[in-house]
A and B are shown apart, each in its own frame.
Chain A
Amino acid sequence: MRKVTCLGVCLAAVLGAVTYGAKQQVMILEGRLASLERSVSAQKEAAHLLKAEWAHLTSPARLEKLAQNHLNMAPMGGWQVISEPQMSTFLDHAAPHTSDMRYASAQDTPLLEGD
């Protein structure tokens, strides 16, 4: 009888200790979870701010100005676009005169004007 009681008390003590340990573990984890969630939310806020800044920095007006000032570029004209059937004639005309395609302009290739 005394043995059984002793065993019961021991078991209860062990179980109690295990439960207590588990509970502590959960508490620590919950604390970490909360702090992670807070940091995620802070990061999200920061990302959001950066997105807004990115949208501001990539606004077409700004990009156009930068391209004009630093790359010496201008909006494309209709004459700079040709359709596929015109391509072969364009290449035939352009190739003998200029070694570099970049210098072929509408002035060299009258076929681009008119329709």
Chain B
Amino acid sequence: MGPSSTYFPRSFSPKNAGLETRAGKAIEVARARLWMATIVFIFCLVAVFGRLVDLTLLRSGEDIDYLPKDQVFASGRADIVDKNGLLLATTLVTKSLYANAKKVQNPRAAAKKLVTLFPQLKENVVYSRLTSGKTFVWLIRHLTPKQQAKVLALGIPGIDFVRDYRRVYPQGNLVSHAVGFTDIDNKGVSGLEVTYDKRLRSDSAPLRLSIDTKVQHIVREELLKGIEEFGCSGASCCVMDIRTGELLALVSLPDFDPNAPTKAEEDALFNKVTLGIYELGSIMKVANTAMALESGKMHLGTRLDVSAPLRVGRFNITDYRANHGVINISEIFVYSSNKGSAKIALTLGAEHQKAFLKKIGLLDPPQIELPERGSPLVPKRWREDKVITISYGYGLSVSPFQAMGAIASMVRPWGKITPTLLAKDSCEPIQGERLVSEKTSRSLLHLMRFVVTHGTSRKADIPGYFVAGKTGTADLLINGRYNKERVAASFVGVFGPDITQPRYAMVLRLYDPQRLKKTYGFNTAGWNAAPVSGRVMERILTVEGILPKEEGKILEPFFQNVSFEKK
């Protein structure tokens, strides 16, 4: 009971307490005070003891600074990687600057200071935010550590940083159209970022694409050189592993930097491979020839007279080179005869043509994981003039990748294939429904090979390798009229070690190539799209370590004794 016991020993007797003396009264008062003090002290001790128990044993109110569980998936958006695991898109932690407008003391001076650091800010905008009276207003998002240090050095009260996330594309322009980009709040805006928006938010495992950055780079670089060389306004190309349908490259030029998409021009944001639909010109003759061979009414040696003039409306159909007289189906293809192709289509009729194009999937919207996906523009009435023009590639517009998919599906030994942008685990050829007979598949490959060895695509040939292809030059429709001076040159190709092992399919387009001295004034695909494609294919084959095996194997008896003159 503390020191009080010394003043009031236990021997203090109660009988004295009742004394009505001054001393007795004083003792009464002292006693009452003593009790009061005792109670207060006990109460305090109990409180202290209780708090001690609470802190050490119960630990209420204590917050162990664990990371929130969702921090395991800290960035909130999964990475996107290429076929080999190289990073294409990732999310990094940044700092963003906000203000508590209620705490900013001198908004005018603060706004002035901030604008000197960030010239992209407007002083009156910053000022109005700082005077808004709100407790949270964004000032600027995603600062670099250096910028952050500079802001701290300004020492403005009432502004602070908050942890923020930013989508970053380390490869810059390289895969812009396939991967796409996100807005400032990391929501997908274009490309695969849109298609897999939910998946990227919910699953932290990286999304693995079929794109091979090496191949993508080769294609992009050669296209850039091609644009420079032939003075084109743009170019596009995609390369597919013909066994699995994986798109190894998808390039549309001009392209943009997904790290700063707002700076891009509209043309650069447009995907010319999957969204743009075009009249593809002579490339369509692959389909037309396949239709002839599949009809049962014609074979490779069937001879057609193409000497008589052929008219569509006011226009005479001409062949690129001189009139051919009587030529067979294989020659019509290898020499790319418009009149011959039209003859084939007219013989078989509109319904037949429509049904065949439907069967190979050129009349329906294509399948691809991108939101930028162009549906074919099919004529409303399939009249005779359409039958003729569609046979050599006018009057039906499709996206280049869809045309490549259809052609690859016909020529590959394993049937139909759907191009995809997601990586497959195995490179085993995918078996699909057969669109044409095996014999037709082989014949088409041979025919396309002859186009490269003897026809218009000779500049695409790579000695030692199997390269098959078809060029197409389409006049551009400018103000409703076809302009012969403005064309788009295309090449569709299949290549690999030899004819029994086609490995890749590709389609390449150059927009508005110029007539040059070195092309002897020509602007047709054989002079520009073919050599650019040749360089692309050569670099892909060597980088992928594919050994040349082409021994000029003939799989179809028809081609044993056939010879094409080099035109």
Which residue numbers of A lie inside 8 Å of B, CB to CB?
19-20, 23-24, 27, 30-31, 34-35, 37-38, 41, 44-45, 48-49, 51-56, 58-61, 64, 75-84, 112-115
Contact = CB atoms under 8 A, between A and B. Distances in A.
B59 interface: yes
Contacts of B548: 78, 81-83, 115
Nearest to A82: B548
B171 A59 contact: yes
B539 A52 contact: no
Given A52-B87, A55-B88, A113-B463, 10 more contacts: A19-B57, A20-B56, A34-B66, A38-B67, A41-B67, A56-B170, A78-B538, A81-B547, A81-B548, A82-B464
Interface string B542-560: 1100111111100000000
B516 to A, nearest CB: 24
A55 B551 contact: no
Contact of B86 (A27, A31, A58): A58
Interface of B: 56-57, 59, 64-67, 71, 74-75, 86-88, 90, 92-93, 168, 170-172, 174, 213-214, 216-218, 221, 462-465, 538-539, 541-543, 546-552
Interface of A, secondary structure class, is: helix
B540 to A, nearest CB: 10
Given A20-B56, A34-B64, A41-B71, A82 B547 contact: yes
Nearest to A80: B542
A79 B65 CA distance: 64
A115 B552 contact: yes
7 contacts: A55-B90, A59-B172, A60-B216, A64-B217, A75-B543, A77-B538, A78-B542
B214 to A, nearest CB: 6
A90 to B, nearest CB: 12
A78 B543 contact: no
A56 to B, nearest CB: 4
A30 B65 CA distance: 9
B170 A52 contact: yes
A34 B65 contact: yes
Contacts of B221: 61, 64
Nearest to A51: B87
B56 A23 contact: yes
Contacts of B546: 81
Contacts of A84: 547
Contacts of B71: 41
Nearest to A40: B67
A52 B64 contact: no
B86 A76 contact: no
A72 B468 CA distance: 33
A79 B465 CA distance: 10
A79 B75 CA distance: 47
B90 A48 contact: yes
A75 B463 CA distance: 17
A56 B172 CA distance: 8
A19 B58 CA distance: 12
Contacts of B547: 81-84
B217 to A, nearest CB: 4
A52 B90 contact: yes
A45 B93 contact: yes
B178 to A, nearest CB: 15
A82 B552 CA distance: 16
A55 B463 contact: no
A36 B552 CA distance: 66
B174 A83 contact: no
B217 A61 contact: yes
Contacts of B551: 115
A48 B218 CA distance: 27
B463 A37 contact: no
